[in-house]
Amino acid sequence: MTLLSRLEAPVETAARALLGCRFTVGEVTVRLTEVEAYSGTGEDPASHAHRGRTPRNAIMFGPAGYAYVYFTYGMHYCVNIVTGTEGTASAVLLRAGEVVAGLETARGRRPASRTDADLARGPARLCSALAIGRDFYGTYLLDGHLTEPETAPVAISAGPRVGVTGAHDIPWRFWLTGDPTVSEYRRHTPRRKEST
């Protein structure tokens, strides 16, 4: 089975298949250790495609294997890999990875990291370590950016997604069990409006 055919599977299956894959941008490579699945229109209120196609999310509607990059909280980029069949929106957020090549470059991009395990722990840090920005949106990833793992993961854990307001208890966050680069789980807590 090819990596493309794995990505064309249902989003939760595709997400699991990405664990252990190597993701390379320029001279930095990370081994993916944590991902999060997002389904399409109507069925997943946490998905950017929940309300239908927009200029921002259009790439989520396929075909599989392309990068969906978005800017969040006015300061961070996050990267997803489009999955599923063309015409149906789904994507997998890359949440964390272990830097396995280009370590010095990644350290230079993430000087505040206390340990190498922190370099790409969390989706914004991963993008920073790989120098992914808005211009990476729409990049085809199966021509050298993304490669299958050398060995299949031994143990995969699943749990609720991080930082989403809707459908936060769906166990579509997947990670390599016990890996030190996996981000810490924090359940979303809505901000309270101040009374005047």
Q: What's this model's pTM, rounded to 2 decimal places? A: 0.90
Provide the domain limits for residue 18.
3-176
**What pLDDT shows up at residue 188?**
56
Task: Give a yes or no: residue 72 inside a domain.
Answer: yes
State residue 17 phi and psi, 5-degree precision. -65, -20
**What pLDDT shows up at residue 45?**
64
Helix (H, G, I), strand (E, B) or coil at 128: helix
Task: Give a yes or no: residue 69 inside a domain.
Answer: yes
**What pLDDT shows up at residue 35?**
97
Asked if 35 contacts 91 with a C-beta cutoff of 8 angstroms, the reply is: no
**What pLDDT shows up at residue 77?**
95
What is the average pLDDT score of the chain? 89
Q: Each residue of 93-132: pLDDT tens digit?
A: 999 999 999 999 999 999 999 999 999 999 999 999 999 9
Low-confidence ranges of the chain (pLDDT < 50): none
**What pLDDT shows up at residue 41?**
66
**What pLDDT shows up at residue 165?**
66
State residue 12 phi and psi, 5-degree precision. -70, -30
Helix (H, G, I), strand (E, B) or coil at 123: helix
Task: Give a yes or no: residue 189 inside a domain.
Answer: no
What's the structural domain count of the chain?
1
**Listed residue (97, 101, 93, 3) closest to 48, CA to CA:** 93
Strand partners of residue 68: 80
**What pLDDT shows up at residue 180?**
95
Q: What is the CATH number of the domain that holds 69?
A: 3.10.300.10
Task: Give a yes or no: residue 187 inside a domain.
Answer: no
Task: Give a yes or no: residue 145 inside a domain.
Answer: yes
**What pLDDT shows up at residue 183?**
84
Task: Give a yes or no: residue 191 inside a domain.
Answer: no
Task: Give a yes or no: residue 181 inside a domain.
Answer: no
Task: Give a yes or no: residue 163 inside a domain.
Answer: yes
**What pLDDT shows up at residue 54?**
81
